[in-house]
């Protein structure tokens, strides 16, 4: 199938027209799709899937052309706007997001009328907003001057307009003292879309504007209004025309080297810097800047990613660039100083892409450094064979521009920023939301994450853009980080190393998007689950991220917004959905409508470890009560991200009582002290780091126990447990193990050691210790290997190379046919091999294997009269090889070597020493 697809690709390239090419593109895409489904390896599936996706996108472009839609017409067609009505909460978010850095930027309602730009009283407009400057910039500023003063322009209005607003030659914008390389690189890259054409992006951006000449108009009042997209809305940004004058020949604003008196680029720059905090701009990336200036969809392509597909990436951006549907910029990473000089590239710096072409088998980008006088690519180590006059050399008549092979771009740049024309889509839907950052214990689960259900009617691509709204707190963090970074550095020579978001924005945290398949479809996802994740975008430190994917038509899927290390307590965001067909998008409902959360901690007393340890039952336990039958989901998360955690949901223990019926109903808030596989109703997978979940499809009305554990004893951390059900659940903590109870060890007995040894696996030795009571008492018994639950001397049983199994019980009457067993461990009554503790506590509901390194019976109530009548005994039974030896309690004393037994009671008890029955 792949060979057939390649043949169709070759025919597509040789086709005589778009219609014929479209037919071969569709055929090739279908064959690649079938080949991907049949592929045996994941790598082949990904490779073939990328080819299929590439051909589908190419087919969409060919289809547009076959309908008479030329590339220019594609760029000119109407940009989709979200027609979805906003809720009251969303309107409030948009209005509150208008305030930024002490200014108000109201949502755009309509274009300003020409009257506001007239100089009616002879007093030029003065913007009261201050523009902040860095210490170095302040030292250079001579004052704020109007353009006619700054440029020494005089003459008739038309002559002034001609000099200040009309470019006589191709734009050649440059950055000097301002630390805004991303802004100037953005203006350079978008220059071909700012020209005097009917689809100029400058026309809807800047007012006043001459729509006949298709160029900015000079404001007589000195007032300029800009329409920029940020914080979830098109907004009005108003400035005056004063620019910072320099004491030297350096400038603090963007200049056009071919048109030195042209001021509109400096005014666009000033308006954008107003919304970003001032001329001491702490950093951004050009994709974010262009999104604000043009509204075009920003995408960041990580060039150092192992998953990048060279051919697919080039073909995608080349086709869109040629059709005027993409603006391209580049960003470098932290290049070493010696590499800067050798390569001619600047570290942590943004560049504009001015052109793309293919020449003699080489794929080339014309790259521009926006600095007014700086390094250019030297071509050292070029990975493509290029002509000498092309590779690494500037375009004739331009400065700071150089051709660079695409392979070299991949090697030396960190990011390719692509801003896509939103007119590529016919539908758009915006959703705005507020997100209070979760408690540290819930960072790794999705309990409080914004989630949306997305339902598509076709497989046509969907693009989802997540935009974090700017706020003052972020600017404070950026400035502090920038001050720390630049401390002691020389910021002269072209503005110094201009910090992009590659450096400073890591202080602002990371965001991501993911699409999940859920059951029921479109419901909320409790925590990350790779098996259900369909598409995702990795965590990035940019305020904008774009997820592109193909949906499953007719099946609702869940979009999850995630974050890491966002430093502020509250944020607002906008999600924009771009599609070719109408979408159904709404907040994702929970699969179960009723939820509650509790917080707790594993402490030195309660961190008992997994069921492989005798201290397992000291872990935090909760009593879960359901008033009616219901499915249940439990989500456990912790503030310690590398802490392995687990959930077990089990039947509660029963409390036999010799003062009433021998089998009373479950007692609320009673701790589980032993488990068998039959007791466990649901469990999370093997111990998972940071968070985990367990679910039961149906539980009867009643009370259940929940045990939360870490993998090893002594692993400490805070946690949050969230329980969801179809009916309102009740969740109550169960007091700590033996809280308020006395611990009494069984002492060494004085009975002489019986002769003989235990050699047969069927041989059983029974140890008995009498218990005396003075009042009705609730009690249970614990048997543990090492460490023992008490430091008191205790009799013991040696294990010389063979492994006994044990069983522990409380018996009313000496063991025999007339005795009543009040409590036993394990509940099943089976013997447990001491040498084989379970280590698979998270698998298949413990696989029915009870904990083996220690046992504890359930609690039972015993009246002293009944205890005196039949006698109350602690019984420890051992089966297997071994020999009896004296313990640590004195000469002739005897007990189970290596096993210590205690009695927990709510009243004073007296326990006699061990007696031994061999062959029991």
Q: What is the DSSP string of 686-700?
A: S-EESEEEEEEEEE-
Q: With 0-12 CB in 10 A as exposed, 13-18 as middle and 19+ as buried, what is 814?
A: middle
Catalytic position from the list 8, 24, 52, 181: 181
Nearest to 106 by CA among 117, 95, 115: 95
Dist CA 827 CA 333 (whole Å): 62
Can you tell me the distance from the alpha carbon of 596 to that of 723, in angstroms, rounded to the nearest whole number? 6
Active-site residue 349, yes or no? Answer: yes
Structure tokens that stand for 518 in this block: 């859920």
Number of neighbours of residue 775 by Cβ within 10 angstroms: 10
Give the C-alpha separation, 478 to 569, whole Å: 16
Catalytic residue among 259, 285, 325, 369: 369
Of 467, 462, 480, the residue nearest 425 (C-alpha) = 462
List of E strands, 70-124: 99-100, 103-104
* Two structure tokens written together for 49: 């899937």
| DSSP for 660-691, written as a single string | S-SSPPBPTT-------GGGEEEE-SS-EESE
Contact indicator for 273, 181 with CB cutoff of 8 Å = no
| Nearby residues of 474 by Cβ (< 8 Å), 6 or more positions away | 508, 568
- Cα dihedral 436, 442, 444, 450 sign: negative
Phi, psi torsion values for 616, nearest 5 degrees: -55, -40
Integer Cα distance of 549 and 464 in angstroms = 9
Of the candidates 8, 24, 193, 349, the residue annotated as catalytic is 349
Q: How far apart are CA 748 and CA 545, in angstroms?
A: 70
- Identify whether the C-beta of residue 412 lies closer than 8 Å to the C-beta of residue 547: no
Paired with 299 in beta bridges are 418
Residues 175 and 372 sit within 8 Å (Cβ to Cβ): yes
Is 613 designated active site? no
Tokens 């929970």, residue located: 590
How many CA atoms lie less than 13 Å away from 599 in the CB half-sphere?
9
For 176, the token pair is: 């000097």
Q: Give, as one character, the DSSP assignment of residue 155.
A: S
Beta-bridged to residue 823, according to DSSP, are: 810
| Phi and psi, residue 812, nearest 5° | -90, 105
Report whether the peptide linkage leading into residue 636 is cis, meaning its omega lies within 30 degrees of zero: no
658 is a catalytic site residue: no
For the chain, how big is the Rg over CA atoms in Å?
Answer: 37
Determine the 3-state secondary structure of 426 from DSSP.
coil
What is the secondary structure of 414-442 as a DSSP string?
Answer: SEEEEEE-GGG-SEEEEEEEEEEPPPGGG
How far apart (Å, rounded) are the C-alpha atoms in residues 133 and 140? 10
Query: What is the maximum alpha-carbon separation in the chain?
Result: 125
**What does the alpha-carbon distance between residue 274 and residue 271 come to, in Å, rounded to a whole number?**
5
φ/ψ bin of 12: left (φ > 0), alpha (ψ from -120 to 50), beta (otherwise) = alpha
Beta strands in 138-208 (DSSP E): 141-145, 173-174, 206-207
Quick count: other Cβ atoms within 10 Å of Cβ 488? 5
Euclidean distance between CA atoms 796 and 889, whole angstroms: 10
Cβ atoms of 192 and 202 within 8 Å: the answer is no
The single residue listed with the structure tokens 């020494």 is: 152
Cα–Cα distance for residue pair 749/894, rounded to 1 Å: 5
Beta strands in 59-151 (DSSP E): 99-100, 103-104, 141-145
Residues with active-site annotation: 181, 349, 369
């Amino acid at each position: 199938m792949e060979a057939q697809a390649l043949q169709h690709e070759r025919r597509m390239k040789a086709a005589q027209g778009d219609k014929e090419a479209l037919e071969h593109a569709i055929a090739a895409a279908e064959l690649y799709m079938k080949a991907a489904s049949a592929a045996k390896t994941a790598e082949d599936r990904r490779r073939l899937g990328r080819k299929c996706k590439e051909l589908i996108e190419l087919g969409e472009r060919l289809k547009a052309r076959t309908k008479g839609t030329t590339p220019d017409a594609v760029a000119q067609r109407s940009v989709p706007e979200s027609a979805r009505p906003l809720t009251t909460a969303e309107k409030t978010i948009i209005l509150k997001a208008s305030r930024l850095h002490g200014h108000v930027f109201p949502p755009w309602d309509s274009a300003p009328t020409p009257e506001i730009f007239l100089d009616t009283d002879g007093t030029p407009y003065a913007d009261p907003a201050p523009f902040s400057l860095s210490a170095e910039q302040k030292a250079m500023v001579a004052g704020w001057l109007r353009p006619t003063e700054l440029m020494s322009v005089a003459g008739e209005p038309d002559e002034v307009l001609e000099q200040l607003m009309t470019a006589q030659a191709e734009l050649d914008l440059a950055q000097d003292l301002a630390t805004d390389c991303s802004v100037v690189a953005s203006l350079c890259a978008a220059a071909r879309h700012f020209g005097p054409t009917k689809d100029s992006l400058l026309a809807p951006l800047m007012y006043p504007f001459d729509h006949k000449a298709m160029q900015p108009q000079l404001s007589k009042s000195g007032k300029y209004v800009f329409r920029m997209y940020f914080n979830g809305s098109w907004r009005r940004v108003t400035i005056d025309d004063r620019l910072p004058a320099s004491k030297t020949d350096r400038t603090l604003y963007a200049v056009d080297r071919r048109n030195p008196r042209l001021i509109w680029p400096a005014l666009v720059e000033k308006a954008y810097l107003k919304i970003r905090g001032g001329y001491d701009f702490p950093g951004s990336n050009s994709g974010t800047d262009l999104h604000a200036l043009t509204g075009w969809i920003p995408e960041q392509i990580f060039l150092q990613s192992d998953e990048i597909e060279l051919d697919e990436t080039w073909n995608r951006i080349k086709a869109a660039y040629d059709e005027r549907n993409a603006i391209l910029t580049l960003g470098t990473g932290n290049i070493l100083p010696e590499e800067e000089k050798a390569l001619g590239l600047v570290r942590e710096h943004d560049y504009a892409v001015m052109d793309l072409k293919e020449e003699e088998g080489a794929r080339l980008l014309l790259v521009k450094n926006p600095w007014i006088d700086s390094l250019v690519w030297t071509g050292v180590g070029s990975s493509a064979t290029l002509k000498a006059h092309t590779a690494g050399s500037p375009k004739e008549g331009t400065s700071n521009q150089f051709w660079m092979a695409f392979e070299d771009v991949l090697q030396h740049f960190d990011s390719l920023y692509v801003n896509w024309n939103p007119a590529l889509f016919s539908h758009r839907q915006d959703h705005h939301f507020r997100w209070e950052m979760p408690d540290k214990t819930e960072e790794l689960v999705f309990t409080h994450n914004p989630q949306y259900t997305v339902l598509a009617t076709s497989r046509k691509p969907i693009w989802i853009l997540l935009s974090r709204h700017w706020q003052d707190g972020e600017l404070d963090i950026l400035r502090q980080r920038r001050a720390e970074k630049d401390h002691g550095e020389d910021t002269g020579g072209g503005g110094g190393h201009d910090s992009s978001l590659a450096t400073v924005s890591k202080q602002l945290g990371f965001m991501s998007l993911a699409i999940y398949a859920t059951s029921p479809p479109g419901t909320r996802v409790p925590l990350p689950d790779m098996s259900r994740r369909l598409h995702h975008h990795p965590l990035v430190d940019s305020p904008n991220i774009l997820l592109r994917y193909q949906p499953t038509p007719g099946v609702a899927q869940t979009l999850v917004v995630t974050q890491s290390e966002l430093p502020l307590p509250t944020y607002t965001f906008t999600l924009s959905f771009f599609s070719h067909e109408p979408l159904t998008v709404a907040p994702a409902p929970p699969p179960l409508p009723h939820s509650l959360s509790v917080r707790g901690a594993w402490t030195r007393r309660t961190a008992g470890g997994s069921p492989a340890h005798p201290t397992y039952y000291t872990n935090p336990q909760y009593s879960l009560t359901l008033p009616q039958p219901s499915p249940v989901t439990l989500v456990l998360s912790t503030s310690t991200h590398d802490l392995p955690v687990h959930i077990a949901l089990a039947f509660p223990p029963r409390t036999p009582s010799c003062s009433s019926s021998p089998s009373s109903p479950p007692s609320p808030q009673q701790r589980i002290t032993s488990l068998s596989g039959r007791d466990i109703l649901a469990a999370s997978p093997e111990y998972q780091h940071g968070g985990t979940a367990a679910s039961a499809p149906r539980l009867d009305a009643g009370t259940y126990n929940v045990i939360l554990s870490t993998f090893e004893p002594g692993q400490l951390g805070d946690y949050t447990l969230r329980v969801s059900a179809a009916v309102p659940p009740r969740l109550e903590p169960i007091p700590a193990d033996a809280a308020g109870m006395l611990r009494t060890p069984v002492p060494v007995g004085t009975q002489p050691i019986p002769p003989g040894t235990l050699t047969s696996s069927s041989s059983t030795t029974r140890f008995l210790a009498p218990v005396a009571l003075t009042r009705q008492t609730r009690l249970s018994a614990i048997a543990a290997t090492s460490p023992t639950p008490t430091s008191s001397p205790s009799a013991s049983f040696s294990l010389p190379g063979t492994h006994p199994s044990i069983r522990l019980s409380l018996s009313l009457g000496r063991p025999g046919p007339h005795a009543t067993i009040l409590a036993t461990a394990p509940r099943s009554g089976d013997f447990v091999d001491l040498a084989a503790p379970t280590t698979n506590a998270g698998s298949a509901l413990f696989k029915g294997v009870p904990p083996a390194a220690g046992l504890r019976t359930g609690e039972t109530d015993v009246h002293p009269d009944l205890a005196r009548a039949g006698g109350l005994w602690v019984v420890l039974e051992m089966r297997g090889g071994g020999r009896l030896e004296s313990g640590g309690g004195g000469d002739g004393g005897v007990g189970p070597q290596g096993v210590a037994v205690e009695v927990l009671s709510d009243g004073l008890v007296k326990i006699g020493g061990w007696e031994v029955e061999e062959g029991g």
